[in-house]
Amino acid sequence: LGKREPQIYGTLTLEEIKKYTQQMLLDCPHDLVWFESNSEEEIVELLHAAERDSILGIVMNPGAFSHTSLAIYDALRSVSCIVVETHLSNVYERGGIRSKLLTAKACEIIMSGLGKDAYHMACRAILCKKG
């Protein structure tokens, strides 16, 4: 992130987006736990662990897995907390396979096209839903 297709994803690295998100959520009473993986298996395991740990919510950007992963979709269906699927780019504007979000069908909220604001807005959405 930050180097690949900056015209679509922007120029910020994931580390910079994390810092920005945490600054935007200084008033949030909950801890944020960040996890990044290119492994479908690791993502599925984390989702199962989230259910066991009774967390408040999940903000997830499954990237290309969002279009193809039945395993992540099934794991998301087993989670009882609020799940927000986020995408930095507007996936619907991109068309084709990128506009078909399999994993989003297992999520309560979908955010697409918000760029660097996607993550903190998704956290705010979880807090609003939880009241």
9 is catalytic: yes
Distance, in Å, from the CA atom of 22 to the CA atom of 42, rounded to the nearest integer, reads: 24
Catalytic residue among 73, 87, 119, 120: 87
Q: What is the DSSP letter of 25?
A: T
Judge whether 87 counts as a catalytic residue.
yes
**In this structure, are residues 72 and 65 in contact, taking their beta carbons and an 8 Å threshold?**
yes
Which phi and psi (to 5°) does residue 80 adopt? -95, -10
Catalytic hit among 9, 20, 67, 120: 9
CB-based contacts of 95, cutoff 8 Å, min separation 6: none
Cα separation of 87 and 97, whole Å?
14
- C-alpha 80/C-alpha 118 separation (Å) is 22
- Name the residues annotated as catalytic: 9, 87
